[in-house]
Amino acid sequence: MTSLSTNQLGLPHGYRQQPVNLTLDANRQGEAYWASWRIEASARYQRHVYRWARSLIDQRRLTTVLDVGCGVATKLEEFIVPTGAQVVGLDQIAAVDACRLLGRSGEFHAVDLESPNLVAPGRFGLVICADVLEHLVDPSHTMRVIREATENDGLALLSTPERTRRRGRRCMGSDKPEHVREWARGEFVRFVESCGLRVIRSRLTPQDETPTRSVILGEVAFRLRMTGRSRLACHSVLCAPG
């Protein structure tokens, strides 16, 4: 499998993508990937993204939700299932097996998110893809499915780590083995829009459950170039079909 070029992905010239990732159905320690410690850790991240998703469902009275790369669906169970919306999740077989073992509510399908044969399991009022795209060598197939799965009047909510805030403005690669690449804010918007979605809102939040307002001063210092990083390192974009 060959990674897309930096130009195709909206990345700057000279950015160093990794040729592979380690987001596999096996843990590097030799135990099952979804060990209890990993399930617990996964619950701490992207919580702001799922809170935003919950607010969209409530405000627009959305009734169908697809989560692309749902993991073990902890945040789906906490934030989305209580809305009463029909929930469908896509991920690797180990994650889907874990969802069933944990008794998660919803319908779950084991898929290869990098397969050109990937098919959308229907159309949805809201499609979520939270911190998944940076793991994929070729994210174009997943982006196609996100676009196809979003109803004409629906929404897609995508998030990814914001490279410059997380690693510094001069960073030109990811040192995390699971991440093939990481985007800066404007780069990610360009990539998403090149895939046929229209970005209607962009939001920066902490990657964990830290309250956003508690780290705003650090973001101001980052923008004034008084510091090299910011805690607002989770970048979410709300999109409509292009």
Question: For the chain, what is the domain count?
Answer: 1
In-domain check, residue 212: yes
- pLDDT band for position 203 (cuts 50, 70, 90): very high
In-domain check, residue 1: no
In-domain check, residue 28: no
In-domain check, residue 119: yes
Query: What is the helix (H) or strand (E) element at residue 146, kind and residue range?
Result: helix 140-149
Q: What is the pLDDT of residue 20?
A: 85
Q: Residue with structure tokens 């990481």? A: 182
In-domain check, residue 236: yes
pLDDT tens digits, residue range 61-86?
999 999 999 999 999 999 999 999 99
Other CB atoms closer than 10 Å to residue 155's CB: what's the count? 23
- Tell me 232's DSSP state: -
In-domain check, residue 171: yes
In-domain check, residue 122: yes
- pLDDT band for position 23 (cuts 50, 70, 90): low
Q: What is the CATH number of the domain that holds 119?
A: 3.40.50.150
The CA-CA-CA angle for residues 158, 161, 167, to 5°, reads 165
Residues facing 19 on adjacent strands: none
pLDDT tens digits, residue range 168-196?
999 999 988 889 999 999 999 999 999 99
Domain extent, residue 64, equals: 36-241
Residue 233 CA: distances (Å) to CA of 29, 212, 229, 240:
28, 11, 9, 23
Q: What is the pLDDT of residue 177?
A: 85
In-domain check, residue 31: no
Residue 172 CA: distances (Å) to CA of 3, 8, 102:
16, 16, 39
